[in-house]
Amino acid sequence: MNTIAVIGAGTMGNGIAHVFAQSGYQVNLVDISETSLEKGLATISKNLDRLLAKEKISADQKSETLGRISTYTELKKGVANTDLVVEAATENLTIKLKIFEDLDKLCDANTILATNTSSISITQIAAVTQRPDKVIGMHFMNPVPIMKLVEIIRGYSTSDEVTHTIMELSEKLSKTPTEVNDYPGFVANRILMPMINEAIETLYNGVAGVQEIDTVMKLGMAHPMGPLQLADFIGLDVCLSILNVMYDGFKNPKYAPCPLLVNMVMAGKLGVKSGEGFYDYSESRKAEKVSSQFN
């Protein structure tokens, strides 16, 4: 593999593009928004600066990494002559199905189509293409440049050859690929999301406050981040979407989203990306924290 297209320049997309480019691959970063592409490149540059400051890369390596990334707002140009496409668009079934229908028509017959979905059925996505054997899940963890795990999800028709190719490719990115089968939530979110949902239920029922719940899980269970803080980091809308996929897929009430989560998403309290979730991430709150450090 030489050239990789990444669809979507958001948090996951720019992280995936970063990792591929730093590993020596030519990357076509595709997004319908030029502004999103600019922000994505700025994020990649900022993350490379952090590595540079820690002396994990050289200035030349930073320049070479950025030089391997080309940006496109037109899907047809962005995926032309690519060996692999990794879709990292928003976690919305309708959007993903449309993207894969288009990719199937625009990409070379041998191009592997991967999705970074965190819960949506690979089999369902593959069914809208004429190459279901070449459709696979590559579920990277956030933040992509740091987290080692990649869930490799086989759809019903994904071939052994494609699975082996993507497993090997993930290792070349210095990741640890783990093969799983195609069921709602896969492994990571099938275990993680019910825990987050239960933490929200615990808050909803008045058992304890946000800080207290997170402290119990951090200090008592050795979690690096409490479940409510983690939900904010993931995005409460994403958590809700994944829980709904699992609830619809299994028809089991244990996956039903907590009403508090539903209400917070409807109110636009989505976590870090909106400035407020279970915690306050607004600029005024950041200023208060900075001020308190000097008083």
CATH number at residue 253: 1.10.1040.10
43 labeled binding residue: no
289 labeled binding residue: no
118 labeled binding residue: yes
Active site residue 121: no
197 labeled binding residue: no
CATH classification at residue 103: 3.40.50.720
Based on the fold, state whether residues 53 and 166 are members of the same structural domain.
Answer: yes
Given 115, 147, 181, which residue is the final one in a domain?
181
Given 159, 181, 203, which residue is the final one in a domain?
181
Based on the fold, state whether residues 198 and 285 are members of the same structural domain.
Answer: yes
Catalytic residue among 28, 36, 116, 118: 118
Quick count: other Cβ atoms within 10 Å of Cβ 154?
20
Alpha helices (runs of H) in the chain, residue ranges in sequence order = 11-22, 34-53, 59-67, 75-79, 93-106, 122-126, 160-172, 188-204, 210-215, 221, 227-234, 236-250, 259-266, 283-293
Residue 258 lies in a domain: yes
Catalytic residue among 14, 151, 170, 276: 151
Based on the fold, state whether residues 60 and 145 are members of the same structural domain.
Answer: yes
149 and 122 in contact (C-beta within 8 Å)? no
Amino acid at 25: Y
Based on the fold, state whether residues 218 and 113 are members of the same structural domain.
Answer: no
Residue 295 lies in a domain: no
2 labeled binding residue: no
Active site residue 151: yes
The range of the structural domain enclosing residue 123 comes to 3-181
Based on the fold, state whether residues 79 and 122 are members of the same structural domain.
Answer: yes
Based on the fold, state whether residues 166 and 79 are members of the same structural domain.
Answer: yes
8 labeled binding residue: yes
10 labeled binding residue: yes
Based on the fold, state whether residues 221 and 165 are members of the same structural domain.
Answer: no
Residue 64 lies in a domain: yes
273 labeled binding residue: yes
Rounded Cα distance between 136 and 134, Å, is: 7
Predicted local confidence at residue 152, as pLDDT: 98
Catalytic residue among 47, 116, 170, 189: 189
Quick count: other Cβ atoms within 10 Å of Cβ 30?
29
Residue 52 lies in a domain: yes
Based on the fold, state whether residues 164 and 220 are members of the same structural domain.
Answer: no
Based on the fold, state whether residues 212 and 144 are members of the same structural domain.
Answer: no
| Measured CA distances, 68 to 27, 90, 211, 260, 263 (Å) | 6, 24, 43, 44, 43
Residue 112 lies in a domain: yes
Based on the fold, state whether residues 84 and 200 are members of the same structural domain.
Answer: no
Based on the fold, state whether residues 123 and 13 are members of the same structural domain.
Answer: yes
Enclosing H/E stretch for 6:
strand 3-7
Given 181, 210, 229, which residue is the final one in a domain?
181
Catalytic residue among 139, 197, 241, 274: 139
Based on the fold, state whether residues 31 and 170 are members of the same structural domain.
Answer: yes
Rounded Cα distance between 33 and 45, Å, is: 19
Angle at 5 between CA 92 and CA 24, to 5 degrees: 135
pTM recorded for the entire structure: 0.90
Active site residue 283: no
Predicted local confidence at residue 282, as pLDDT: 87
Along the 295 residues of the chain, how does pLDDT read in single tens digits? 999 999 999 999 999 999 999 999 999 999 999 999 999 999 999 999 999 999 999 999 999 999 999 999 999 999 999 999 999 998 899 999 999 999 999 999 999 999 999 999 999 999 999 999 999 999 999 999 999 999 999 999 999 999 999 999 999 999 999 999 999 999 999 999 999 999 999 999 999 999 999 999 999 999 999 999 999 999 999 999 999 999 999 999 999 999 999 999 999 999 999 999 999 998 756 544 433 433 3
Tally the domains of the chain.
2
